[in-house]
Structure 1
Amino acid sequence: MRGDELDVRLADRLAGLRVERGWSLEELAGRTGISRSSLSRLERGEISPTAALLNKLCAVYERTMSRLLAEVESEPPQLVRAPAQAVWRDEQSGFVRRSVSPPHPGLRGELVEGRLRPGADIAYDVPPVAGLEQHIWVLEGAVEITSAGRAHTLRAGDCLRFRVWGPSRFHCPGPEPVRYALFVVLP
């Protein structure tokens, strides 16, 4: 699926989630801290969400980012060939996310490839699902990850395992980009 098609389906799904809950744009704005006008433009597909904005929406809808993105994709097959793996880009932050092993009914884990350009910095206020288990394995470069108030610098080959209960942050100090594998397990 092309990126623009994914953005349109994502906008429709976000609007649908709000309507399913019976929330007005004003109520959703109050729950997320995102302006009503930004939410409206997002749901109409006029803007593409940043990683931080999408994380806030995932938190109020109690979904991981992967789960939300999987909901706008067709049912994934058991074998996911590289060309079929959904790629989502946040140009503003420099984050590229490839759903290597997307969420699947009956499975609690998923595998994501993340890439951050040098200087990229992404902060998440809350986890999309409290207690979400993450295993981050750095494949190339270096990344600083902060969770539970503790900062960790990971380099190629290092793996950080934790459960996300509060704010977290991913920062690529450079000078090279970082590429990592993220294994997510739902609680």
Structure 2
Amino acid sequence: MDINARIARRVHELRDARGYSLDALAERSGVSRSNISLIERGGSSPTAAVLDKLAAGLGVTLASLFEDSRAPAAGPSPLARVAEQPVWTDPASGYIRRNLSPPLRSPLQLVDVIFPPGQRVAYDGAPRDPEVHQQVWMIDGVMELTVGDAAWRLESGDCLAMRLDRPIVYRNPSRKPARYLVALATLPFSPSRRNG
């Protein structure tokens, strides 16, 4: 299946499952109603920043928007063959993300990213329910990450942990592609965390 068609169906399914109208999701995500409608019809190739806003508005990780919700008759497999892993290219920066995780519903998701030289992607980092934690492990190259007010330079082998609740900027300052692994863990919603 075409990756944009998969994203279109997934956004629509998640919106329906939560009972959100286009207007409600637009308000929650900060993405215009017309843009959401266009994405759901497969008429747009949304950027990473737009997809991240939709994911936050839907209460899921960005990686969840690439999942195939059509479960086979035997149930989802615990194995994700490389040929079955969805690959998506951000039309704005050209960064390539491959969802590595099997289609099982799991609190852990793995994503392989190849980030082009000189490119930058910024995410708003709206608080999410449920809470999402992320670690970025550099495989090759250099990346500069700004997480809220803190700035980090990651080189091969370095690993940075963060919560997805503040703005994050990814930038490759070098002249060669960078490759890194993103591990995302979703914690169940807990009202006590909100109040604490």
TM-score of the superposition, structure 2-length normalised?
0.83
Other structure's SS at 2:100 match:
strand
- Of 47, 54, 62 in structure 2, the residue corresponding to residue 57 of structure 1 is 54
- Structure 2: tracts of 5 or more residues without a match: 188-196
Root-mean-square deviation (CA), in Å? 2.1
Other structure's SS at 1:58 match:
helix
TM-score of the superposition, structure 1-length normalised?
0.86
Other structure's SS at 1:175 match:
coil
- Of 16, 19, 38 in structure 2, the residue corresponding to residue 19 of structure 1 is 16
1:64 offset after TM fit, Å?
Answer: 0.6
1:20 offset after TM fit, Å?
Answer: 3.8
Find the counterpart in structure 1 of residue 41 from structure 2: 44
Deviations 1:10-35 (A, max 9, x none): 21232233334443333332322222
4+ residue segments displaced more than 3 Å: 19-24, 71-76, 127-131
Deviations 1:59-111 (A, max 9, x none): 01100112232244646522222222111111212221111124523x32121
- Contact 1:62/1:128 (<8 A) preserved: no
1:52 offset after TM fit, Å?
Answer: 0.6
Find the counterpart in structure 1 of residue 81 from structure 2: 81
Q: Name the aligned partner's letter for residue 114 of structure 1.
A: V
- Contact 1:145/1:170 (<8 A) preserved: yes
Find the counterpart in structure 2 of residue 98 from structure 1: 98
Task: Figure out how many residues of one structure are paired with residues of the other and give that number.
Answer: 183
Query: Residues of 1 paired with 2:186 and 2:19: CA distance?
Result: 26
Deviations 1:151-175 (A, max 9, x none): 1000111111222221111111121
Note closer, same or farther for the CA distance 1:37–1:179 as it changes in structure 2 (3 Å cut): same
- Contact 1:132/1:186 (<8 A) preserved: yes
1:169 pairs with 2:169 = yes
- Contact 1:103/1:110 (<8 A) preserved: no
Q: Name the aligned partner's letter for residue 31 of structure 2.
A: I
Find the counterpart in structure 1 of residue 108 from structure 2: 109
Query: Residues of 2 paired with 1:45 and 1:123: CA distance?
Result: 23
1:135 pairs with 2:141 = no
- Contact 1:137/1:160 (<8 A) preserved: yes
Query: Residues of 1 paired with 2:132 and 2:97: CA distance?
Result: 18
Q: What fraction of aligned residue pairs are identical, expressed as a percent?
A: 39
Find the counterpart in structure 2 of residue 119 from structure 1: 118
1:44 offset after TM fit, Å?
Answer: 1.0
Note closer, same or farther for the CA distance 1:47–1:185 as it changes in structure 2 (3 Å cut): same
- Structure 1: tracts of 5 or more residues without a match: none
Other structure's SS at 1:152 match:
strand
Query: Residues of 2 paired with 1:94 and 1:136: CA distance?
Result: 19
